[in-house]
Amino acid sequence: MKISVEHLTQMYSSHVVLDDVSFTTESGKVTALLGPNGSGKSTLIKTIADVLPMRGGRILVNDTDITTVPKAERSKMIGYVPQYFHYTSFTSVLDTVLIGRRPYMSWSVSDEDLEAVDAALSTMHIEDLAERFVNELSGGQRQRVFIARALAQNPEFFLFDEPTSSLDLRHQLETLAVMQDVVHKNNSGMIVALHDLNLALRYADHVVLLKDGSIYADGKPCDVLTTEAVRDVYGVESEVVEKETGRFILSYEPSY
């Protein structure tokens, strides 16, 4: 499956957030969406996820305009995990992950639904939490529950909005490794908004770098993430170093 964003424009009242954004990504690839706060990462993800209405431009899925796809089909194709959601009610992990099966259920829950939930729980290593309440879990556990919900939805494309922002170092790496694994194994697609450039260097196959609602650069991580790009987009001086364990960006001071 291929997603092409063409000349996408998005605004909140009259404030333009995305201005003529175009890029293409496909199954089997992890696409990292990078850019400073307010550069339009979340807005771009929400527009593709059908959370925000389209204002201008097109989104094509396998060359079909996504607005012509019925809502029920669209929700089976694209799964979304928002950056942050505050749970107000006590809901078990099992029930929360089961919500991902909404596009497949009318009233009763089938064996197939429960199998999908079981598989999602074991992929995220949270089977033991099944009967716990979501609002009693730690931030890291909760994030894995939400990712499991998206897995249970069984979409061809995943959209993650800063899934690592509330996680500690180990959980950041673990979460991205699991997601990369899912994408490569199932040949699904994934767009993930990230703040950490080194996580993008390590796990992304493709990087889209946003600046002020427009695309600054788009391509392979090692080609896009240069000292110059980091200075232009983030306003930070940095150097790119090659180690045996990979390539890293070391940032040291704001540029003036």
Partner 1 sequence: MNKTAGKYHAVRRRKMSVIIILAVLLVLSMILALGIGSVFIPPTEVLASLLNALLPGLIDAPDGAADIIINFRMPRILLAVLTGIALSAAGAVMQGLLRNPLVSPFTLGLSSAASFGAALMIVLGPAVFGAFFAGSVVFLGFEFTTKSLMLILSAFLFGWLSVILVYFISRARQTSQAVMVLAGVVIGYLFQAGLLALKYVSNDDALREIVTWMMGGMWGATWQTIFILTPVVLICFLLIERRAWDLNTLSSGDDVARNLGINVDRFRITGLLIVSFAASACLAFTGIIGFVGLMAPHICRMLIGNDYRYLLPASALMGALILLISDTVARVILAPVEIPVGVIMYVLGGIFFLFLITRGHGRYLS
**Could you list the residues that contact partner 1 (CB under 8 A)?**
46, 49-51, 71-72, 74-75, 78-82, 85-92, 94-96, 98-100, 102-103, 105-107, 109, 111, 114-115, 117-118, 121, 127, 130-131, 149, 153
- Report, in Å, the least distance between residue 93 CB and partner 1: 10
- Report, in Å, the least distance between residue 233 CB and partner 1: 26
Nearer Cβ to partner 1, position 45 or 233? 45
Cα(161)–Cα(82) distance, integer angstroms: 5
Nearer Cβ to partner 1, position 163 or 221? 163
- Report, in Å, the least distance between residue 57 CB and partner 1: 19
Nearer Cβ to partner 1, position 69 or 173? 69
SS (H, E, C) the chain: CEEEEEEEEEEECCEEEEEEEEEEEECCCEEEEECCCCCCHHHHHHHHCCCCCCCEEEEEECCEEHHHCCHHHHHHHEEEECCCCCCCCCCEHHHHHHHHHHHHCCCCCCHHHHHHHHHHHHHCCCHHHCCCEHHHCCHHHHHHHHHHHHHHCCCCEEEEECCCCCCCHHHHHHHHHHHHHHHHHHCCEEEEECCCHHHHHHHCCEEEEEECCEEEEEECHHHHCCHHHHHHHHCEEEEEEEECCEEEEEEEEECC
Nearer Cβ to partner 1, position 74 or 184? 74
Place of tokens 């959601």: 85
Nearer Cβ to partner 1, position 46 or 184? 46
- Report, in Å, the least distance between residue 133 CB and partner 1: 9
Nearer Cβ to partner 1, position 139 or 235? 139
Nearer Cβ to partner 1, position 75 or 164? 75
Cα(3)–Cα(29) distance, integer angstroms: 11
Place of tokens 């333009």: 16
- Report, in Å, the least distance between residue 76 CB and partner 1: 8
- Report, in Å, the least distance between residue 53 CB and partner 1: 10
- Report, in Å, the least distance between residue 90 CB and partner 1: 7
Give the residue among 170, 174, 129 at the shortest CA–CA distance from 149.
Answer: 129
